[in-house]
């Protein structure tokens, strides 16, 4: 197994200053440029802009360990003035990794400015610039322009083609070679002008406040799935697997939630994901709590079966060490992992890129929050590539899975169309 080599663009030594500031208001509205970095939920989190360092991570095994080592070297050699010392203060790296370890395109960015808010406190971190009590969190901002004249087109597979892929996956599962595989679709949107990530972020944060609204190197979305949060020794994860659309009224919602909880297919799918997270975290944790039964997480467009997981790490482990142990989960790949990944490569007819890969941030203490890049789109000038995926098990119905994928596209269609 060869060692991953990373291309890094950075000064010899980072000069980092963090100051506590008055509440800046809406974090996303403070972003001055379309090239945004963000991780925001219920108005709290981090946004960043500019680049003090960029790591381009090639395909191959060992990528998380390689990034962690290089960041430890980069942050360890920095001059840091951080009187707050809270998660997300001091130097921070935002990252987004490809789903498939055989794919390139993973990227990690240390921004020149980071604006944070958590628990009633707000701060501004600058790298390589003068900083002090008078530091302004917002620079002169580029004007916002909403996407217009959108046209839509299929991605790698048409709807009938994707249903055939689902049917093929079901046949593979029924032979007993694997228990579950997650198949994704892509969809393209073309706009008249370059798409501004800040517009999409603002719409997503307003519509899906309970999700983690994120942006990193052109990947923008609002994921409901927390892969891992590390705060000192404490870690948290949220397992999501098993989905149904929202109802037409509260009574319909209640009935759909009850059917979801009673669904053998969805409970089976969820159990695979929860068990894998348990097995991945157990060797890293001195204590671990995984609920016996899932609960229902209700979002504006769908409902999921959800299991909150909590643990206490033993030993010195960065959040990236835990990300490496967890990715890919059955919620986005399947089980057994190797066979599911092989089938995904064969049936999806596309490279997912960073869709369904880890996205989030890590600070110099190893604290951080990482989600799975779901309900997202990759922006490239005037074009956006949207993604949606569904867990396929032995009794999955291709038409029902297509309808589920359609529901999951709605979040990003709303972000683009308003």
Report pLDDT digits (tens) over 375-387: 999 999 999 999 9
Contact between 66 and 4 (Cβ < 8 Å): yes
Query: Does the pLDDT value for residue 243 go beyond 90?
Result: no
Task: Identify the pLDDT of residue 137.
Answer: 58
Closest Cα to residue 375, out of 356, 347, 358, 393? 356
Distance CA 418, CA 413 (A): 8
The token pair at 143 is 């004007």
Distance CA 42, CA 209 (A): 5
- Looking at 20, 73, 129, 180, which residue is catalytic? 180
Task: Identify the pLDDT of residue 139.
Answer: 60
Threshold 0.95, pTM exceeds: no
- Looking at 44, 193, 225, 324, which residue is catalytic? 225
Lowest mean pLDDT among 20-29, 240-249, 252-261, 409-418: 240-249
In this prediction, residues 259-273 reach a mean pLDDT of: 88
How far CA 195 is from CA of 46, 126, 198, 218, 379, in Å, comes to: 22, 27, 9, 10, 7
Check residues 270 and 202 and name the one with the higher pLDDT: 202
Q: What is the C-alpha end-to-end distance of the chain, expressed in Å?
A: 47
In this prediction, residues 155-175 reach a mean pLDDT of: 97
Active site residue 225: yes
Q: What are phi and psi of 203, to 5 degrees?
A: -65, -40
Give the pLDDT band of residue 57 (cuts 50, 70, 90): confident
Greatest mean pLDDT range, 8-22, 29-43, 59-73: 29-43
Query: Does the pLDDT value for residue 201 go beyond 70?
Result: yes
Active site residue 180: yes
Closest Cα to residue 68, out of 325, 288, 373? 325
Closest Cα to residue 164, out of 416, 402, 365? 402
Distance CA 337, CA 252 (A): 36
Structural domains of the chain ordered from first start: 7-140+149-417 (3.60.120.10)
Query: Does the pLDDT value for residue 185 go beyond 70?
Result: yes
Contact between 1 and 61 (Cβ < 8 Å): yes
């Amino acid at each position: 197994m060869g060692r991953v080599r990373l291309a890094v663009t950075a000064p010899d030594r980072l000069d980092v200053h963090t100051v506590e500031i008055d509440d800046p208001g809406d974090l996303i509205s403070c972003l001055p440029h379309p090239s945004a970095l963000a991780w925001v939920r219920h108005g709290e989190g981090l946004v960043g802009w500019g680049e003090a360092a960029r790591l381009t991570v090639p395909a191959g095994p060992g990528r998380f360990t390689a990034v962690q080592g290089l960041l430890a070297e980069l942050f360890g050699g920095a001059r840091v003035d951080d009187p707050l010392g809270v998660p997300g203060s001091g130097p921070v790296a935002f990252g987004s990794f490809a789903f498939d370890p055989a794919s390139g395109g993973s990227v990690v960015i240390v921004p020149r400015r980071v604006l944070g808010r958590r628990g009633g406190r707000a701060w501004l971190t600058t790298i390589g610039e003068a900083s002090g009590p008078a530091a302004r969190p917002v620079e002169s901002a580029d004007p916002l322009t909403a996407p217009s004249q959108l046209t839509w087109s299929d991605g790698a597979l048409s709807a009938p083609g994707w249903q055939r892929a689902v049917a093929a996956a079901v046949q593979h599962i029924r032979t007993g070679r694997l228990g579950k595989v997650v198949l994704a679709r892509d969809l393209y949107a073309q706009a008249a002008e370059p798409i501004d990530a800040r517009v999409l972020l603002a719409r997503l944060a307003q519509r899906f406040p309970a999700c983690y609204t994120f942006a990193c190197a052109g990947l923008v979305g609002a994921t409901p799935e927390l892969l891992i949060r590390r705060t000192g020794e404490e870690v948290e994860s949220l397992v999501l697997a098993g989905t149904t659309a929202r109802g037409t009224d509260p009574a319909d919602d209640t009935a759909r939630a009850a059917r979801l909880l009673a669904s053998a297919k969805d409970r089976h799918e969820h159990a695979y994901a929860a068990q894998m997270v348990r097995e991945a975290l157990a060797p890293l944790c001195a204590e671990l709590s995984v609920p016996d039964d899932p609960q229902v997480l209700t979002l504006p467009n769908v409902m999921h079966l959800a299991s909150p997981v909590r643990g206490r790490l033993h030993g010195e482990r960065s959040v990236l060490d835990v990300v490496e142990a967890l990715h890919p989960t059955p919620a986005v790949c399947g089980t057994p992992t190797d066979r599911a990944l092989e089938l995904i490569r064969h049936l999806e007819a596309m490279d997912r890129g960073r869709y369904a890969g880890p996205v989030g941030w890590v600070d110099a203490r190893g604290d951080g929050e990482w989600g799975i890049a779901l309900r997202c789109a990759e922006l490239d000038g005037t074009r956006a590539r949207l993604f949606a995926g569904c867990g396929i098990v032995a009794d999955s119905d291709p038409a029902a899975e297509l309808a589920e994928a359609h529901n999951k596209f709605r979040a990003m269609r709303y972000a683009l169309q308003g």
